[in-house]
Amino acid sequence: MIHIPKGTKDVLPSRSHLWQFIERTARETAELFAFKEIRTPVFEHTELFQRGVGDTTDIVTKEMYTFLDKGGRSVTLRPEGTAGVARSFIENGMAGGVLPAKLYYLISAFRYERPQAGRLREFHQFGVELYGAAGPQADAETILLADLFLRRLGLKQIKLELNSIGCRQCRTAYNEALRDYFRPHLEEMCADCRARFEKNPMRMLDCKEEGCRRITAGAPRILDYLCADCRAHFEEVRSLLDAAGVAYEVNPSIVRGLDYYSRTVFEFTTSAAGAQGTVCGGGRYDSLLEQMGERAVPAVGFAAGLERLLMVLEAEGVPMPEENRADCYLLGMDEVSRRQCFLLAASLRRAGIPCEVDLMDRSVKSQFKYADKTGARFVAVVGESELSAGAAEVKDMRTSSSERVAFEQLAQYIFAHKNKN
Ligand code: HAM
């Protein structure tokens, strides 16, 4: 027996409607803000992520599914969506098109992490990217989109944490301050942090090691090092969120696990789903496109993890849609009636009514049992007398009442009655 790879999950038919609910809500919310879907490949040239996501991140140094294809090229399964979308934006000349470009995606992504609840090796994201708008209103609108998405799902116990990590200019001064602070503690810090010290000391603030966290708790805060422009930008994002009634907390320790961010960064977190509490993360990344060899195009976006959202929805007990069910089960009592049911089913489906017929040669009794188990609202019984009357005996499984309905009226009848109690 071959088992499913570690860190991956099947979505079984009994749960796929929950996924569809989240995906539908994502699409509808993105479209409320006039974002359009973009689809990019599952794998890209490895270099895209090394340059895009950043070669000091855990994702690039430890977690990528990288392999040589049969032509000897190094390719990588996407660990996230932003780099691929940025590549596509550049490659398809979207910077010369209508701006802002407002794009969304629903994707699977791959990271070789230690699997646990809410942390998988293949996981799914709903993400949005907005290109071309540099002002704080674009940041605020992106955050509003994420907020509305979470609200439309029905989540209540979600907290928005906000920070600004400034621009390259503020970060030069800040990185020096961080190095001065960390230098006397380096011996006590983990090997990763010692490696980050020279290359990217801000990444040390994201370390999960207990010993390191104690030290980083006293580190200087980026908000004290913002230049005037970055400070004004952050103030305006905050004031727009205040005006829109979106509650947030400024958390200076949010630095994000990817290198491309500048200015606004944010995370939506919850304590309802155990250790993996970040359901959504994003921010502004004005220098990514330039780093990828293109002219600078301001950008902001986020991605939400669908597995984590589902965990939180269930932990919070949020009401979700029920499983999809057929409206009608067509039950033939004998050979000839079964044939009639087969034809009736075909015409109901053409009319847009989900229905089922027996494909297992079951007895009348076990057909009833099956129909009951699948939760079909109506069972249309056809036997000898119904055949000669040209009408089915339609049982409403919810009320247990029955009615004779002419074959050609069946679709209309079901349409008219299916939403009644
Ligand atoms: P990220 O914070 O790496 O950001 O991932 C976004 C979300 O994906 C996380 O908040 C989490 O819910 C989910 N996620 C990440 N890793 C896993 C995992 N191993 N298992 C389950 N869920 C996971 C990004 O990916 C950026 N591209 C977001 C972005 C878009 N920034 C700007 N635009």
Cis peptide before 13 (omega within 30 of 0): no
What pLDDT was estimated at residue 310?
96
Claim to verify: residue 265 and residue 402 sit in the same structural domain: no
Claim to verify: residue 31 and residue 98 sit in the same structural domain: yes
Is pLDDT above 90 for 53? no
Distance 80 CA to ligand 1 centre (A): 7
Claim to verify: residue 286 and residue 344 sit in the same structural domain: no
Average pLDDT over residues 43-47: 97
Provide, rounded to the nearest whole percent, the portion of the chain with pLDDT above 90: 86
CB 301 less than 6 A from any atom of ligand 1: yes
Please report whether residue 83 resides in a domain. Answer: yes
Is pLDDT above 80 for 308? yes
CB 281 less than 6 A from any atom of ligand 1: yes
Average pLDDT over residues 49-66: 90
- Contact by Cβ (8 Å): 147, 239: no
β-sheet with 74-77: strand ranges across: 43-45, 74-77, 65-68
Claim to verify: residue 62 and residue 109 sit in the same structural domain: yes
- Contact by Cβ (8 Å): 17, 322: yes
Claim to verify: residue 298 and residue 360 sit in the same structural domain: no
Please report whether residue 191 resides in a domain. Answer: no
What pLDDT was estimated at residue 322?
92
Is pLDDT above 80 for 391? yes
Cα–Cα distance measured from residue 148 to residue 268, given in angstroms and rounded to the nearest whole number: 12
Strands 122-131 and 101-110 turn out to be: antiparallel
Kindly indicate the confidence band of residue 255, based on its pLDDT and cuts at 50, 70 and 90.
Answer: confident
Compute φ and ψ for 359, nearest 5 degrees.
-115, 5
Which residues pair with residue 161 across a beta bridge?
249, 267
CB 262 less than 6 A from any atom of ligand 1: no
What pLDDT was estimated at residue 248?
98
Compute φ and ψ for 241, nearest 5 degrees.
-65, -40
Kindly indicate the confidence band of residue 271, based on its pLDDT and cuts at 50, 70 and 90.
Answer: confident
Q: 69-104 in b/e burial notation, b at 16+ Cβ within 10 A?
A: eeeeeebbbbbbbbbbbbbbbbeeebbeeeebbbbb
Claim to verify: residue 138 and residue 93 sit in the same structural domain: yes
Closest CA relative to residue 123, chosen from 112, 131, 134, 133 = 112
Closest-lying ligand 1 atom to the alpha carbon of residue 278: 10
Q: What is the CATH number of the domain that holds 239?
A: 3.30.930.10
Give pLDDT tens digits for 193-240: 998 898 889 889 888 889 999 999 999 999 999 999 999 999 999 999
Claim to verify: residue 335 and residue 312 sit in the same structural domain: no
pTM above 0.85?
A: yes
Q: What is the CATH number of the domain that holds 371?
A: 3.40.50.800
Claim to verify: residue 340 and residue 309 sit in the same structural domain: no
Question: Which residue range(s) make up the domain with 80?
Answer: 13-167+227-316
Average pLDDT over residues 19-40: 98
For residues 356, 358, 360, 364, the Cα torsion angle rounded to the nearest 10 degrees is 140
Rg of the Cα trace of the chain?
28
Please report whether residue 67 resides in a domain. Answer: yes
Cα–Cα distance measured from residue 139 to residue 143, given in angstroms and rounded to the nearest whole number: 6
Please report whether residue 279 resides in a domain. Answer: yes
Please report whether residue 130 resides in a domain. Answer: yes
Give pLDDT tens digits for 90-109: 999 999 999 999 999 999 99
Average pLDDT over residues 270-293: 89
Kindly indicate the confidence band of residue 54, based on its pLDDT and cuts at 50, 70 and 90.
Answer: confident
What pLDDT was estimated at residue 206?
84
Closest CA relative to residue 44, chosen from 65, 75, 90 = 75
CB 305 less than 6 A from any atom of ligand 1: yes
Number of independent structural domains in the chain: 2
Local structure of 192: helix, strand or coil: helix
Local structure of 23: helix, strand or coil: helix
What pLDDT was estimated at residue 247?
97
Give pLDDT tens digits for 393-414: 999 999 999 999 999 999 999 9
Provide, rounded to the nearest whole percent, the portion of the chain with pLDDT above 70: 100
Please report whether residue 244 resides in a domain. Answer: yes
Is pLDDT above 80 for 276? no
Which tokens go with 49?
Answer: 């992520």
What pLDDT was estimated at residue 106?
98
Which tokens go with 322?
Answer: 């029920």
What average pLDDT does the chain have?
95
Q: Pocket of ligand 1, candidates 88, 123, 160, 289: which has the most ligand atoms within 8 Å of its Cβ, to mutate?
A: 123
Closest-lying ligand 1 atom to the alpha carbon of residue 285: 32
Claim to verify: residue 232 and residue 359 sit in the same structural domain: no
Claim to verify: residue 257 and residue 391 sit in the same structural domain: no
Please report whether residue 361 resides in a domain. Answer: yes
Average pLDDT over residues 136-147: 98
Domain's final residue, options 316, 351, 383 = 316
Give pLDDT tens digits for 322-379: 998 999 999 999 999 999 999 999 999 999 999 999 999 999 999 999 999 999 999 9
Claim to verify: residue 346 and residue 298 sit in the same structural domain: no
Local structure of 36: helix, strand or coil: strand
Distance 364 CA to ligand 1 centre (A): 51
What pLDDT was estimated at residue 185?
93
What pLDDT was estimated at residue 200?
86
Cα–Cα distance measured from residue 180 to residue 218, given in angstroms and rounded to the nearest whole number: 12
Please report whether residue 300 resides in a domain. Answer: yes
Claim to verify: residue 262 and residue 399 sit in the same structural domain: no
Which tokens go with 236?
Answer: 């305006």
Helix axes 168-182, 191-199, angle to 10 degrees: 140
Closest-lying ligand 1 atom to the alpha carbon of residue 267: 10
Cα–Cα distance measured from residue 353 to residue 386, given in angstroms and rounded to the nearest whole number: 21
Which residues pair with residue 77 across a beta bridge?
43, 65
Give pLDDT tens digits for 153-181: 999 989 999 999 999 999 999 999 999 99
Domain's final residue, options 316, 341, 363 = 316
What pLDDT was estimated at residue 274?
74
Which tokens go with 326?
Answer: 């057929």
Domain's final residue, options 286, 316, 346 = 316
